[in-house]
Amino acid sequence: MSAAKGPAAKASAGKASAGGPGSRTAKGASGTTAAEPAAARAAAAPAKSRPAAASARQRAAAASAGDASGSRDAAERDLRRAERARRAYERAEVRRFTKRSRRRRTLLITAFGSVALLAGLVAAIAYSPIMALRDIRVEGASRLDAGAIVEAIDGELGTPLPLVDGAEVHRALSGFSLIERYTTESIPPGTLVVRIVERQPVGVLEGSGGYDVVDAAGVVIEHLDARPEGMPLLVAPGGIADDGFLAATAVVRALPEDVRAALVQASAETADDVRLELGGGAEVVWGSPEDSEVKAEVLAALMRAAPPDTVSSYDVSSPSSPVTG
């Protein structure tokens, strides 16, 4: 029994041995089959997780890029705001520092504009028919006929006052020998005033055909056949252009009215040798025309103290020490 068991046991063991590898193989196959789903799942899990990870990384990268882009946009916006603020500040500073000059420039522009406007208005009015010459008035004429002067320049009537031809007025008035000088004044809207100064006769010059009444410059005012009363005779050996004649007429003009009324003759060989002859035959040694006003006062005092019909001469050539002869 023991032996039977032995071979049987061996046979069984042999089967068992024989079946051992098959059993291991079966186990191995079974084990491989059982392990494949887990390995596949393990292999598939990374395969499935890789796209998800990549997508996550892409989302993270996109989010990061978006954040970076947003940060750049925000930085650019901040930079633009800062630039605008800087320019605004600079403009404000420029306005603040140039405020006075801008005010001065505005005032100057306003002033110049006002002046230009006023000048334009004045010019428009001045050269319009409103300012046409309609009336000529003559002042200062005593021996001259004022009507003749107006008639001489009435060709300017109807001309705007600023355009009245001064040369034409001068030409017209030059024909009047009695006019020594003149001035004109325009009085808006249409009046021209002519103020004249007539030549004052100082004496007469004897000529071949009578006597010429002349002024201090020797200009003939009028010609007379007979010597007029109250006019001294002027003796000028060198003629009216000579310094002696001019010195004598200057002395005559310096005489006061009461002395001139007694004057009969004035003569001068030279400018420093003026002599006067008074009614009654008294002679006055005058000398040069210098200090004529002082000499005239001294002569008047001497004539009051000793009338011309009581003396033969007065010497006032040195007015500080006059001599009566």
> Do 208 and 121 belong to one domain?
no
d(CA 104, CA 85): 29
> Do 238 and 297 belong to one domain?
yes
| DSSP reduced 3-state for 56 | helix
Tens of pLDDT, residues 152-209 = 999 999 998 888 999 999 999 998 988 999 999 999 889 999 999 999 899 999 988 8
d(CA 278, CA 271): 20
Question: CATH number of the domain that 273 lies in?
Answer: 3.40.50
d(CA 176, CA 161): 23
d(CA 146, CA 137): 8
Q: Does 27 reside within a domain?
A: no
Calculate mean pLDDT across residues 25-30. 39
Q: Does 22 reside within a domain?
A: no
Res. 27 pLDDT band, cuts 50 70 90: very low
Task: Specify the pTM.
Answer: 0.55
Q: Does 35 reside within a domain?
A: no
Which domain range does residue 80 map to? Answer: 72-126
d(CA 299, CA 286): 9
Backbone dihedral region for residue 31 (phi beyond 0: left; psi -120 to 50: alpha; all else: beta): alpha
Task: Indicate the residue type of 83.
Answer: E
267 CB neighbour count, 10 Å cutoff: 18
Please report the pLDDT score of residue 36 as a whole number: 52
Please report the pLDDT score of residue 106 as a whole number: 84
- Decide: 280 and 274 in contact? Cβ < 8 Å: no
Please report the pLDDT score of residue 293 as a whole number: 93
Calculate mean pLDDT across residues 13-39. 42
Helices (H), 255-315: 257-261, 292-305
Please report the pLDDT score of residue 161 as a whole number: 87
> Do 316 and 301 belong to one domain?
yes
